[in-house]
Amino acid sequence: MPSRIAAAFILSVLLSSTISVSPSTPRDSIRKATVGKAIYFITNDDDNAVIALSINLDGTLSRGTITSTGGAGSNVLAVGGMTTQAPDALVAQSSLAIVDNNIFAVNAGSNTLSLMEISAKSPSALKIVGEPATLPGEFPNTVAVSKKNKLACVAMTGAKAGISCASFSTKGLGLMDNLRPFDLNQSTPPIGKFNTVSQTFFSTDESKLYTTVKGNPATNNTGFFSVFTVDHTNQLSAEDVRSSPNGTQILFGSTPIPDSPNHVFVTDRAFGAIVLFVDPETAKVDLVGKGIIEGQIATCWAAVSHITHSAFVTDGSIDRIVEMSLDNASVISKLDLFSNGDPGLIDLAVAGDFIYALSPGNDTDQAAVTVLDISGGQGSARQIQHFQLGDLGVNKNAQGMVALS
């Protein structure tokens, strides 16, 4: 290996604590990898910050920056209410969102939403835009952004729970509108994991805001799937339509299904995942398919890939990735990652041929992002890097994952 390349390789080994690039196959040399530019997640610490990690041309991660959101993170209380919970401090998916070169991040401890701008020259350089917007509720844990409607909507899951939205521009966030309440009978911080909001996100055509809310099987309290509609003035409707699909219990991380405008893939922490159909007229939902993952403990986060046309889900208590069908949520493949030592995986994002999955670690193991290559199609996922984050000061409170394409 020429010395300059050798030096660059050694440098990248030094920058990332652990790197393992698999040998290239003939396919890799024919088809150039499709890669994103950077990934982002929040530390969710007292001084909340967005971590940005650049993506190399081979899909691996390098170099990180930390940029304060100007707000505070928080943690739900563990069941029983005596101790704080981490990992999965916010019991949520989409604790930050990305649209073009803007990042929106929740501050669960200060009841605000921050807007940040990504530098056009350097995807890991962020700066805050305007002041964080004050929210009309408590414990924001998930945010959705519509580019078409110039609308950012936040879900809160504390003592004052519900949805509020604001417009945004290059100058910053507008005023958050009135809270559309969810009656969850929660405290601030909430006592997780049951009876809390899981995720808010827009439909593919951005005409509807979907929100998943967990039930509590022990008290026969069903969760629900909420649908608000965006009206012709780009405002969210005051009232939502709620459904509790038969057989679901703890609806969690979700994603619209590409090329199926009315279908949504949703995890259910109680058993695996489902595919739902949202009636475009009534906004009521029907169960289309249900997939049970044998031996699962907490299947909560989901992302889809256009390349594999499948969903990938993670389990906070098992270090593996499960790939599922977008037709009916049946299991397509399972990839054990036990050898990298993480206690489990939470939020994940797909960028081109690669998946980036966050493990916040725990009291003894440092946080890490596992990078998987999925360029070979369904069933091909393989780990190419385990990028440890302890040097950046990231700990078990970390949450969220988005990628810049």
Which residues sit at the interface with ligand NAG, rule CB under 6 A? 185, 219-220, 246-247, 325, 327-328, 330, 341, 343, 362-365
Where residue 283 falls (left for φ over 0; alpha for ψ -120 to 50; beta otherwise) is left
Nearer to ligand NAG, 134 or 258 (CB): 258
Q: Which long-range contacts (CB under 8 A, 24 or more apart) does 177-183 make?
A: 177/136, 177/235, 177/236, 178/136, 179/136, 179/137, 180/228, 180/236, 180/238, 180/239, 180/240, 181/137, 182/155, 182/157, 182/213, 182/226
CB of 10 to ligand NAG, least distance (A): 29
CB of 133 to ligand NAG, least distance (A): 29
Quick one: which of 276, 259, 258 has its CA closest to 267? 276
Q: What is the DSSP string of 78-122?
A: PTTSSSB--SSTT--S-SEEEETTEEEEEETTTTEEEEEEE-SS-
Distance of CA 67 to the CA centre of its chain: 19
Nearer to ligand NAG, 68 or 221 (CB): 221
CB of 130 to ligand NAG, least distance (A): 37
Q: Cα-flanking dihedrals φ and ψ of residue 228, to 5°?
A: -105, 155
Nearer to ligand NAG, 53 or 311 (CB): 311
Nearer to ligand NAG, 132 or 192 (CB): 192
CB of 231 to ligand NAG, least distance (A): 32
CB of 214 to ligand NAG, least distance (A): 14
Nearer to ligand NAG, 234 or 330 (CB): 330
| The two structure tokens encoding residue 279 | 């009636």
What letters, b where the CB count within 10 A reaches 16 and e where it falls short, cover 163-198?
bbbbebeeebbbebbebbebebebebbbbbbbbbbb
CB of 197 to ligand NAG, least distance (A): 16
| The two structure tokens encoding residue 351 | 């960028």
CB of 221 to ligand NAG, least distance (A): 8
- With residue 358 as reference, give the H or E element that holds it: strand 354-359
Query: How many residues in the chain?
Result: 405
Nearer to ligand NAG, 202 or 265 (CB): 265
Nearer to ligand NAG, 236 or 311 (CB): 311
Q: What is the DSSP string of 137-196?
A: SS-EEEEEEETTTTEEEEEEESSSEEEEEEEEETTEE------EE------SS-B-SSSS
What torsion do the CA atoms of 11, 340, 355, 335 make, to the nearest 10 degrees? 150
CB of 321 to ligand NAG, least distance (A): 16
CB of 220 to ligand NAG, least distance (A): 4
DSSP classification of residue 339: G
- Which residue has the CB atom at the shortest distance from ligand NAG? 343
Nearer to ligand NAG, 13 or 258 (CB): 258
Nearer to ligand NAG, 83 or 185 (CB): 185
